[in-house]
Structure 1
């Protein structure tokens, strides 16, 4: 069983061109509980952030809710993401997953949050608001 925390507010999944600079809205002044993650590839820059911090010049998909596994988690532990994603797949809830050094995160569509929470709870996890 995992304890999972529902973060406040909506999140956005964004795409910037590879030559973009990260705007100051992403790099400073995070509020308690906020998370921002940035990934660079040859195809561009992907950003996950609170919706109100989404870069203006980015292609943006909004209305996601963010769930954080209460951590920190030991990096040697395996199967954590599978324990979260498998119930979502069974409930047909889309997921965007990412990890930090300390824990794992899931984004689920805001309109499917109730179904996502139900699926996680049925799988034996506890979702905390």
Structure 2
């Protein structure tokens, strides 16, 4: 199946108002961040980043852990994200999922990490800690 890397540290899922200014620190200086993602919509800005780098003034949900499919993956491959989300849903573990050009990521609540990794391993994936 898939090799899935558990990234170090805790992550935050943040919401900012549409048009809010973003600090360049989020992307201009990645520091020790394994991943930062920013998505703009007409309704607002979503940021996923290490918990210690959450933007000031954002609504912030912390205590997430990030699992990344070891890649790169061919962009034409189908079903990768479903193969992660389906066993997590069956284990009743909440997820926040996002993709990059090269791979897929799944955030799970830190308090449910053991259950999440066990569900992924039961589904045949290898979790690299």
Structure-1-length-normalised TM-score: 0.97
1:123 aligns with 2:123: yes
Q: Deviations over 1:99-123 (max 9, x none)?
A: 0000000000000000000000000
- Counterpart of 1:114 in structure 2 is 114
Moved over 6 A (4+): none
Task: Tell me, in whole angstroms, the C-alpha distance in 1 between the residues paired with 2:39 and 2:16.
Answer: 10
Distance 2:33 2:69 in 1: 12
User: What SS does the corresponding residue of 1:55 show, helix, strand or coil?
Assistant: coil
Which residue does the alignment assign to 2:2? 2
Give the distance between the partners of 2:33 and 2:62, measured in 1 at CA.
Answer: 18
* Distance in 2, Cα, partners of 1:71 & 1:33: 18
Note the 1:37-56 alignment, pairs <5 A: 37-56=37-56
Q: Which residue pairs with 1:21 in the alignment?
A: 21
Q: CA deviation at 1:44?
A: 0.5
Aligned length: 129
Q: Give the TM-score normalised by structure 2.
A: 0.97
- Which stretch shows the higher mean deviation, 60-69 or 22-31? 22-31
Structure 1 stretches of 5 or more lacking a match? none
Alignment of 1:31-110 (within 5 A): 31-32=31-32, 34-110=34-110
C-alpha distance after superposition, 1:69-106 (max 9, x if no partner): 00000011000011000000000000000000000000
Please give the secondary structure, in 1, of the residue aligned with 2:112.
helix
Q: CA-to-partner distance for each residue in 1:27-66, whole Å, 9 max, x for gaps?
A: 2322455101011011000000000000111000000000
| Root mean square deviation of aligned Cα | 1.0
Aligned residues of 1:87 and 1:119 also touching (Cα < 8 A):
yes
